[in-house]
Amino acid sequence: MDMPKVSIIGAGMVGGAAAQAIATRGLADVVLVDVLGDQTKGKGVDLAQSMAAVGVDTSVVGTDDFSQIKGSEIVVITAGKPRQPDMTREDLIDVNCKILKSVCEQVKQYAPDAIIIPVSNPLDLITAAAARYLDVDKKKILGMGGQLDCLRFAQKIKKRIKVSYKDIQTTVVGMHGKDMVPLPEYSTIKGITLPDMLSPQEIEDVVEETKNGGAEIVDLLKSGSAYYAPGESIRIMVEAILTDSHKIVCSCVFSEDDGVFLGRPVMLGKEGVHKIVTLKLNDDDDKKSFTSAIATVKELAKEII
């Protein structure tokens, strides 16, 4: 039985983690593409050999030949410069847009029908840039950021409430970065909303820790940024799309209502965005933060080259 194909452009730490997560679950054959040549091929061979350990018959190939992405159902774009200490995601706009533009030319040539998952930072701007460079149905462009923020929100909650991750559901909207908007009223523990489980001060602390979750890792690593949790976040999105599950995943997608790519809960399926879930934000601060994020993304989008 033929498996679907997922291509990951960028064989760094995030790309490698995503490839491993997708392949070991038997979701798809994986093509890992990077300009590094033999290093990429070596990583592909290593990952392919690891499939024997888990008994999964997925194929993993590392290559510098972009033509091998032909026929991909999904193309994940992780290529780009990672954030360093004292850098904001916005500092990366110019360099990563240039890299993205080159990648998109290859995608248009070899995988024009694929659903695209941009991952590089600044995520919201890179996702908007991908839509501009590719000129495809915006439902097929889904940035990975919100799902990662949801994982970080869950981890910070678990540190305070010793419950199973299986019982924690989190929702984060807005920009991927310090201006994200974690939503306690739409985050639950076994169906019980967070305000019923934590004090206002504890919620404020958890929200702030979540907002700084990526920067914390960058500061500790000294060079580079997170990759395990981003890899799993990509896998969650890929699985929802390939299985046409309509799973609700927080993703950076385009809404006609506000005209920008921004993090929101969406149902994912084989066509990409099946439906955007519209939330009623009752907290005034959350409303202001989300409205501010719309304005910020619109302004920053002017810098896309």
Which amino acids are annotated catalytic?
176
The radius of gyration computed from the CA coordinates of the chain, to the nearest angstrom, equals: 19
| Whole-number Cα distances in Å, 190 to 115, 164, 231, 268 | 33, 9, 26, 23
| Whole-number Cα distances in Å, 105 to 18, 100, 234, 236 | 22, 9, 22, 26
DSSP string of 32-73, one letter each residue: EE-TTTHHHHHHHHHHHHHHHHHT----EEEES-GGGGTT-S
CB distance 147 to 250 below 8 Å: yes
For 174, the token pair is 């807005």
- Go through the chain and tell me how many residues it has: 305
- Per-residue b/e over 196-214, b at no fewer than 16 CB within 10 Å? ebbeeebbeebbebbbebb
DSSP H stretches of helix in the chain:
13-24, 38-54, 93-110, 123-134, 146-160, 200-211, 213-221, 228-242, 284-300
| Whole-number Cα distances in Å, 237 to 19, 119, 281 | 13, 12, 25
Integer Cα distance of 290 and 299 in angstroms: 14
